[in-house]
Amino acid sequence: MTDGGETMFVVERRGCLAGFASTKDATLMGLYVDPDRGRGAGRVLLPTVEDHVRCHGVTVLCLPATLNAVPFYRRHGYSADRPSVVLRGGVRLPVVEMSKAL
**Statement: residue 4 has pLDDT above 80:** no
Q: Are 95 and 83 in contact (CB under 8 A)?
A: yes
pLDDT at 101 over 90: yes
Largest CA distance in the chain: 39
> What pLDDT is recorded for position 67?
96
Give CA–CA dist 94/84, Å, rounded. Answer: 6
Instruction: Give the separation between CA 59 and CA 66, rounded to whole angstroms.
Output: 23
pTM for the predicted model, two decimal places: 0.90
pLDDT, position 65: 97
What's residue 3's pLDDT? 65
The pLDDT tens digits of the residues spanning 50-72 come to: 999 999 999 999 999 999 999 99
Structure confidence at residue 17 (pLDDT): 94
Res 66: pLDDT? 95
CATH topology for 2-101? Answer: Aminopeptidase (3.40.630)
- The predicted-structure confidence for 17-56, as pLDDT tens digits, reads as follows 999 999 999 999 999 999 988 889 999 999 999 999 999 9
